[in-house]
């Protein structure tokens, strides 16, 4: 099924760009926008709360559902309380794990040095908290409420920062020296989206070897998508056998083997 990038962009434009994964899409707002464009419920963005669920329902001409509940109380603007991360700097051991966990590059610091959060950029997504081995990151309530214009400005800035983060992580994928704190982002959707939509920064997928550098970008994207589908099916089949899925898996393996042979 081909993707409707114009619709995905419209959906993505409504999402807060916190990239927290609370909607069930680990890699953030764009994968959720893609899933919603293909029929997934539009009320799952936790930081967006009821206003985002309603805006998406209106955009898609669907019934309005109650938004998934946040653990934080709802503010006057209908969204959950915004939070900010704060590092207890005297306890930080400078392990750098929080840096690659932060999707919007809001943490500063280097190896064995104290780290700190750039409060203005922090979205309170909490993704830095679990990787911290000494549990020295707190969340505090942000009492500022943004107006619509500020909200839009922030969303666009966060999206741009996340794309920069993805591109950096992608570049480090084959030459990583720092710690890996979360599963690698599935870059292919972002690369494909950025090829179709001018207003987002371009994402380029890195090649593994010089030999593979001859593969054109479209094929690389296709192979990355196939690999993701294969991984997903293998995981599902490891839990429960399913003839249809097994057949699908074999077809996908056949496809990728064929492409690799031609490359």
Q: Which positions lie near ligand SF4, rule CB under 6 A?
A: 15-16, 18-23, 25, 28-29, 32, 45-48, 85, 87, 92-98, 101-102, 104, 106-107, 109, 115, 117, 122-128, 131-132, 134, 136-137
Q: Which residue's entry shows tokens 């020295």?
A: 136
Least distance CB 84 / ligand SF4 (angstroms): 7
* For ligand SF4, the closer CB: 45 or 203: 45
d(CA 234, CA 250): 10
* For ligand SF4, the closer CB: 12 or 170: 12
Least distance CB 210 / ligand SF4 (angstroms): 35
Least distance CB 184 / ligand SF4 (angstroms): 17
Least distance CB 40 / ligand SF4 (angstroms): 11
Least distance CB 162 / ligand SF4 (angstroms): 10
The residues, ordered by sequence, that sit 6+ positions from 124 with a Cβ below 8 Å of its Cβ are: 18, 47, 82, 83, 84, 85, 139, 142
* For ligand SF4, the closer CB: 178 or 217: 178
Given a contact cutoff of 8 angstroms between Cβ atoms, the answer to whether 162 and 154 are in contact is no
* For ligand SF4, the closer CB: 115 or 192: 115
* For ligand SF4, the closer CB: 96 or 220: 96
Dihedral, CA of residue 23, residue 108, residue 73 and residue 51, to nearest 10: -50
Q: Which long-range contacts (CB under 8 A, 24 or more apart) does 169-177 make?
A: 169/100, 170/203, 170/204, 170/205, 170/206, 171/206, 173/206, 174/206, 174/208
């Amino acid at each position: 099924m081909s993707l409707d990038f114009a619709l995905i962009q419209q959906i993505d434009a409504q999402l807060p760009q916190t990239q927290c994964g609370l909607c069930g899409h680990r890699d953030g707002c764009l994968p959720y926008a893609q899933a919603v464009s293909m029929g997934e419920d539009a009320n799952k963005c936790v930081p967006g709360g009821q206003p985002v669920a309603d805006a998406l329902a209106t955009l898609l001409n669907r019934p309005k559902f109650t938004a998934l509940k946040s653990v934080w109380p709802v503010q006057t603007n209908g969204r959950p309380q915004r939070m900010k991360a704060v590092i207890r700097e005297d306890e930080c051991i400078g392990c750098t794990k929080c840096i690659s966990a932060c999707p919007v590059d809001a943490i500063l610091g280097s190896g064995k040095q104290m780290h700190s959060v750039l409060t203005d950029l922090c979205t309170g997504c909490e993704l830095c908290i679990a990787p911290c081995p000494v549990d020295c990151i707190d969340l505090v309530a942000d009492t500022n409420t943004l107006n619509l214009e500020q909200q839009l400005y922030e969303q666009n800035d966060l999206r741009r920062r996340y794309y920069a983060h993805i591109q950096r992580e992608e570049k480090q994928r084959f030459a990583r020296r720092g710690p890996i704190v979360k599963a690698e982002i599935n870059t292919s959707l972002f690369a494909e989206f950025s090829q179709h939509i001018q207003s987002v920064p371009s994402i380029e997928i890195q090649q593994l070897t010089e030999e593979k550098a001859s593969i054109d970008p479209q094929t690389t994207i296709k192979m990355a998508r196939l690999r993701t589908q294969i991984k997903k099916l293998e995981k599902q089949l490891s839990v429960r056998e399913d003839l249809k899925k097994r057949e699908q898996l074999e077809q996908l393996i056949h496809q990728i083997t064929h492409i690799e042979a031609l490359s």
